Structure 1
Amino acid sequence: MKKIALLLSTILALHFTQAQDISGQWKGVLKVQGVQLPLVFNIEKTDSGYKSTMDSPQQGAFGIPATSTNFENSTLTIQITNARIKYEGTLGEDEVVIGVFDQGGQTYPMNLKKNTEGSDKPTRPQEPSKPYPYLSEDITFENSSAGIDLAGTLTMPSTGEAFPAVVLISGSGPQDRNEELMGHKPFLVLSDFLTKNGIAVLRFDDRGTGKSTGDFSAAITQDFATDVEAAVNYLKTRSEINADKIGLIGHSEGGMIAPIVAVNTDDVDFIVLLAGTGIPGDQLLLLQQRLLGKASGMSDSQLEENDVISKKAFEIVKTSENPKRDLTDLMIDVFRNLPQDKIPQGMTEADFVNAQVNQMSNPWMMNFIQYDPAPTLQKVSCPVLAINGSKDLQVAPKENLEAIESAVLAGGNKEITIKELPGLNHLFQESTTGAPSEYGAIEQTISPIALDEILNWIQKQVN
């Protein structure tokens, strides 16, 4: 599911010139309605140009990855398409970028200065460093049904043979092979831990992301399932892998995808659902909206108002013959009833309506709202482990774990284990509130408690 503006799919467009090098950490301050929001762009030179990440330290967001860069004729252009953000500025002789920050048509002056005092990034103590004590190979495999090539990394123990293996399946939004988010690399940490304990791991860039080809924006959950099937097929070609002991580990939306793949192929021996969903998409989004809203301090009346609007929108998506038209009518009515102090300065009715309708009517979201995972879960015949953190505000643990267990059992599969892990959030970090604002500020990437639960259960399946 969409990670509520956490999962910004970032596109930074930047060509370089021979005369100037833009690499480094660039800091600016965005001033909006009296509020100052520091932003940082981390730009690194590569063989083909530049790659970048963005930080918003005050919001606890670090390492938001860029997929490309553009720096030409002293002009720096940065685009973050999912958030409708564009920054454009000119690098002067004084090493200051003079520019404008644009979000959703609202423009604000923002200059960038190069940081010479070192990185402000928090430490990530669990992130492994090279050289790894195991084999790590960058690979590519084909999804022939989609006509795309997917790029990833396969890690295997350095000694032994016929290794059990898992494919890691990322959550929603365009994710790289490490599922990089807020400066964390959960899949890098997870693959390192499992490989050190004798399990081969394949993780890969989502289609259209990183080094994988394809169009991410046109794909829905079922399309991503075919990418995972292709990954399983690739593992079966490797002589080092035991083809009878291949499993899937899916996080968030990946926890929806894993059961689809397990049903579509006989080659999956077990699945692990990390904050996977068991209830229909519209119900999950309503719960998510309420939990996140409450954590952010919204009043009960505000939460109720949001519920009413969302339920109307979801019903349109599920039943309307012309959802875009009907969503437009709904959002016009919503905008015209908003108090003036709730409308961002300069935002027009058209800006508001277009943003809401485009988000609600894109193929992925419409499919997600209508999708009920229960019928698929009922068809899963392999062993299932489903775990959630008790402080997960994005995929409510009680409701989803119970629904997953109920659906799997209803299909006659008794090999289902569910666990709610105390104190862990959606990323399985040990957290205080579970709010997304904590993700980037927490140094821990994945709790050892969660890592041990995953490993111990998998070892029982493969030994």
Structure 2
Amino acid sequence: MNVNLNEIEVTINSAFSLAGTLAIPTDITQPAPAILIISGTGENDRNGNGKGLNVNIYKDLADILGKMGFVTLRYDKRGTHASGGDFNETGLWDLVDDSIACVQFLKSRQEVDPHRIFIFGHSEGASIAPLVHTKEPVHGLMLISGGVENLVHDTIPRQTGQALEELEQAKGIKGFLIRLLKVKEKAKKQTAAFIEKVLSSTTPTIRFKGKKIGAKWFREHAALNISDYISQVACPIIAISGSNDIQAPPDHARKFAEAATGEAEWHVIPHMNHILRKYEKPHTMLGLLKEYKSLFTTPIDAEFVKLLEQWLRKHTTTQPS
């Protein structure tokens, strides 16, 4: 994308130093509205890439939003890539604190209008954004591909159950062996054992099946009722999901909007998936990695971009509350 942006490598001071990219449109002549991009779960970098999955989602979004005239900030999570800290010891509320530090960083920049700062929260970021706003208010929230559900008690069992159902429907010798070996039953028991061990733990990390797990993050998500925080949000909200998103329930865009106390709107975009790309073929939980890899060069959904721009234009011409 041909965007005239000046990208600056910056350091945000939180409990640990966070490495980020501040993207500033080169043609701005006065303090501009700004958007903090909060990413989804996992250890992907500030651009949305990692572990062989180079979707570039947050870099692409920064380019799109920069073309609209917005300053953006995207950053590596605590304990990943160029940021300090230990990712496995990082809890949900640590991520919230880091996002608050990023909002405060934006408010301190001379290029940014501190009264026109928005948060773009994608996936887990859609849960983090309302928590940030209750502590460090912003002008508006974009809650994208998120869920008004509990990650530990709802999301994990739902996604695991869907994957196991797909496994059991496998055909031929593969399906026969899966059913013969009772893979579904064993996996359900292992998931339950994992959740029980995590929730009964008291340390930041635990070992499960030989792997180091961020137990603190799981425990804090398990204790979270996101609706309690959304109900405290009075700033404008737009919640958007895709009808082909099987990671987060599409109808939760409506639930986000209905839980808010202020102005809120919601949209479900036909055929858009979790990484904001159009995908009209049948897809499965087990086939997501292959699906996402097939979309590396596909642009972000045009209808999604249009909705974002319309909403942002509307809310950058209104007076701050």
Q: Structure 1: which amino acid aligns with 2:158?
A: L
Answer yes or no: is 1:232 the counterpart of 2:87.
Answer: no
Question: 1:190-226, CA deviations, whole angstroms, 9 ceiling, x for partnerless residues?
Answer: 0001101111111111122222212221111110111
Contact 1:424 1:434 in 2 (8 A): no
Corresponding residue of 2:31: 162
Corresponding residue of 2:126: 255
Question: 1:226-251, CA deviations, whole angstroms, 9 ceiling, x for partnerless residues?
Answer: 11111111111111211000010011
Measure how far apart 1:378 and its partner are.
1.4
Corresponding residue of 2:310: 456
Question: 1:437-458, CA deviations, whole angstroms, 9 ceiling, x for partnerless residues?
Answer: 2000123152122222222212
Answer yes or no: is 1:176 the counterpart of 2:45.
Answer: yes
Q: Unaligned 5+ residue runs, structure 2?
A: 171-178
Question: 1:140-171, CA deviations, whole angstroms, 9 ceiling, x for partnerless residues?
Answer: 1211xx1x111111112212312110000111
Change (3 A) 1:237 1:414: closer
Which of the pair is proportionally richer in helix? 2
Measure how far apart 1:434 and its partner are.
4.0
Corresponding residue of 2:259: 407
Q: Structure 1: which amino acid aligns with 2:149?
A: I
CA distance in 2, matches of 1:265, 1:375: 16
Corresponding residue of 2:271: 423
Change (3 A) 1:314 1:212: closer
Corresponding residue of 1:447: 301
Measure how far apart 1:426 and its partner are.
1.1
Work out which structure has the larger RCO, using CA pairs closer than 8 Å and 6 or more positions apart in sequence.
Answer: 2
Contact 1:291 1:393 in 2 (8 A): no
State how 1:219-298 maps to structure 2 within 5 Å: 219-266=90-137, 268-281=138-151, 282-295=153-166, 298=169
Q: Unaligned 5+ residue runs, structure 1?
A: 1-127, 329-350
CA distance in 2, matches of 1:156, 1:171: 23
What SS is found at the alignment partner of 2:105? helix
Which of the pair is proportionally richer in strand? 1
Change (3 A) 1:383 1:293: farther
Query: Normalization by structure 1: what TM-score?
Result: 0.58
Change (3 A) 1:295 1:247: farther
**Equivalent of residue 153 in structure 1, options 12, 18, 21:** 21
Answer yes or no: is 1:362 the counterpart of 2:231.
Answer: no
What SS is found at the alignment partner of 2:293? coil
> Which of these two proteins has the greater Rg computed from alpha carbons?
1
CA distance in 1, matches of 2:237, 2:194: 33
Measure how far apart 1:381 and its partner are.
1.7
CA distance in 2, matches of 1:380, 1:295: 38
Change (3 A) 1:249 1:315: same
Corresponding residue of 2:242: 389
What SS is found at the alignment partner of 2:129? helix
CA distance in 2, matches of 1:162, 1:415: 25
CA distance in 1, matches of 2:88, 2:17: 16
Contact 2:235 2:262 in 1 (8 A): no
Corresponding residue of 2:282: 433
Query: Normalization by structure 2: what TM-score?
Result: 0.82
Q: Structure 2: which amino acid aligns with 1:415?
A: E
RMSD: 2.7
**Equivalent of residue 224 in structure 2, options 358, 371, 384:** 371
Measure how far apart 1:293 and its partner are.
3.7
Contact 1:245 1:269 in 2 (8 A): yes
What SS is found at the alignment partner of 1:439? helix
Question: 1:303-350, CA deviations, whole angstroms, 9 ceiling, x for partnerless residues?
Answer: 6775566456546655x4x689xxx9xxxxxxxxxxxxxxxxxxxxxx
CA distance in 2, matches of 1:446, 1:286: 29
